[in-house]
Amino acid sequence: MVGLIHTILLDMIQRQAGADAATDIRRMAKVDPQIDFRIDENYDDAEFLRLLVATCERLGLTQDQAEQAFARAFYEDSVRRWPTWFQLSKSAREFLKRQPAIHNGFATGVSDSSARAGIRDKFRLEERPDRIVVHYKSPNRLCGVYVALAQEILEHYGESARIEHPRCLRGDDPSCEIHVIWPDTTGNA
């Protein structure tokens, strides 16, 4: 997992709960307090998951609440850091169709080929007339982050769509299947 993810989580914690909370969470997760996570470096996925678990414990959040808060922080950071991503897309659907390519772009800065492949292989997109279907497979099982980010993107573009999650890694499924379904705008039922 690229260091940007760790950085956004720790910045979010500091903004919402203060520097002491961020320090406590690093300690609870057994993460070196001196490490400065870099956007172009890959870090152990287990380290981020420990930070997320410690965040839940320290701030009294469920995993869903933590993932939603993180997705909001990631969205806000992305709008500031990469405004062109949002300018290139005229709709939430266009943006969400680009998301796997954006995600995979982070892999280009990672020198280890197996780590690069691990980043690239997390998402696959299928487009249908009324929806996009995202296939997500990761041992991190952070599908809730994708669902919350998709909702942020819909709000960014002022759109509404239904999000369904019929298959999930957190259950017995080998991968997640997330459907973002737009209402029929043709008037057909």
The CATH code that applies to domain 91-181 is: 3.90.1520.10
Comparing 32-41, 51-60, 66-75, 146-155, which segment has the lowest mean pLDDT?
32-41
Cα 39 from Cα 126, distance rounded (Å): 28
Give the confidence band of 55 by pLDDT, cuts at 50, 70, 90.
very high
What is the side-by-side order of every strand in the sheet holding 176-181? Answer: 123-128, 131-136, 176-181, 162-167
pTM beyond 0.85:
yes
Residue 6 · residue 70 · CB < 8 Å: no
* Segments making up each domain of the chain, as ranges: 3-61, 91-181
Cα 78 from Cα 189, distance rounded (Å): 37
Cα 152 from Cα 79, distance rounded (Å): 11
The CA angle 102-104-107, to the nearest 5 degrees, is 125
